[in-house]
Amino acid sequence: GGQEKRGALAAGKAKRARSASSAGEAAPEGGPRDGSAPPQEYSIPPPVSQGKWKNKERVLIFSSRGINFRTRHLMQDLRTLMPHSKADTKMDRKDQLFVINEVCEMKNCNKCIFFEAKKKQDLYMWLSNTPQGPSAKFLVQNVHTLAELKMTGNCLRGSRPLLSFDPIFDREPHYALLKELFIQIFGTPQYHPKSQPFVDHVFTFTITDERIWFRNYQIIEEDASLVEIGPRFVLNLIKIFQGSFGGPTLYENPHYRSPNMHRRLIRLSVAAKFREKQQVKEVQMVKKKGTKVLVEEDPTEVVFETPAEEKPVEIQLVKPESKPIVKDKKKLRKIQRKKQKKLFRTEG
């Protein structure tokens, strides 16, 4: 389809060039009338990719519903970097994963990158060879996209990348399988209609800490130094399946720990710290109570006890005066003052 379009475009350009040259011939005195070659600006350059597109790899890149903005940007970045990719609408979470095989068949794709979101916080990536398999499931961590300011590199859109792999990929069989899968998915086919025949950036796959670290660098021609373009992410392998999106398990990563388990362990560690603090407090309380030594009664203390003088019991024969009930506080104070004056006079 791409080649036909390109042919049509070339034909259109040729028509335009011919009409322009004929216009040049019919130009007034200044133009070339003597049948000489038209000016150089009207010559049409040959198409960029001069060759047959044989390796027809097409990659479908899409996601499930419920992905966050960062995942959406990462997905768009991968589509930008891979001219042999195709897009599709988000898949419903109710649908089973094997439905993706049918979607790929309809889109005429033989590879698939599928982003699956769970709990609105965990992101899983499936890489699959769609009709018959194998497929691999990864947990995606530490995502940084092209739009971030830290990534200062740049490359030509549609240019073909070099793929650089860690030497560990050749030592272990499951990594060798993943390497082949990465080569077929991320490698832009030669002479692809949407690609450019320049190699100006590198995709690196490095294995550190039992995870695969993806980076994209620009090659600077002067001194062959590298500047990071992005995106960057870390793939934590979960399982490799024989079929596409299912089937028998070929390899299960023993070092993988699910995000749910990780969060649970964090919660348990916090709870354990709290319990430890409580126990320390209890021990301190017991120590404080234990320090108070009970001293036995001292018999000599009785010497200093002097009996109190016995006062005669007074019996009131006269009824006490009833206090006047006064609602106004000012009047009450006046009455009290008068009483005090009377007492003072009598004493005097």
Position 154: which residue type? Answer: N
3-state secondary structure of 98: coil
Structural domain boundaries in the chain: 59-261
| Number of neighbouring beta carbons within 10 Å of residue 96 | 8
pLDDT tens-place string over residues 293-320:
666 788 888 888 888 888 888 888 888 8
The predicted pLDDT at position 108 comes to 93
Tokens of 136: 């691999």
Residue 42 CA, distance from chain mean position: 51
Percentage of residues of the chain with pLDDT beyond 70:
82
pTM for the predicted model, two decimal places? 0.66
pLDDT tens-place string over residues 196-215:
888 999 999 999 999 999 99
Give dist(CA 75, CA 146) in Å, integer. 11
Encode the chain (348 residues) as per-residue pLDDT tens digits. Answer: 544 454 444 455 454 544 444 444 444 444 444 555 555 566 665 555 567 888 888 999 999 999 999 999 999 999 999 999 999 999 988 888 889 999 999 999 999 999 999 988 899 999 999 888 899 999 999 999 988 878 888 888 889 999 999 999 999 999 999 999 999 999 999 888 889 888 999 999 999 999 999 999 999 877 778 999 989 999 999 999 999 999 999 999 999 999 999 999 999 999 999 999 999 999 999 888 876 666 678 888 888 888 888 888 888 888 888 876 656 777 888 888 888 888 888 766
Give dist(CA 180, CA 134) in Å, integer. 11
Burial 250-287 (b: 16+ CB within 10 A, else e): bbebeebeebeeeeeeeeeeeeeeeeeeeeeeeeeeee
Position 178: which residue type? Answer: L
Question: Alpha helix (H) ranges present in 26-151?
Answer: 69-81, 99-106
Residue 89 CA, distance from chain mean position: 21
Phi and psi dihedrals of 281, rounded to 5? -60, -45
What percent of the chain is helix, strand and coil (3-state, nearest 5)?
35, 25, 40
The predicted pLDDT at position 184 comes to 94
Architecture of domain 59-261: 3-Layer(aba) Sandwich (3.40)
Q: Which residue has the tokens 């960057």?
A: 232
Q: Does 231 sit behind a cis peptide bond, omega within 30 degrees of 0 on the bond before it?
A: yes
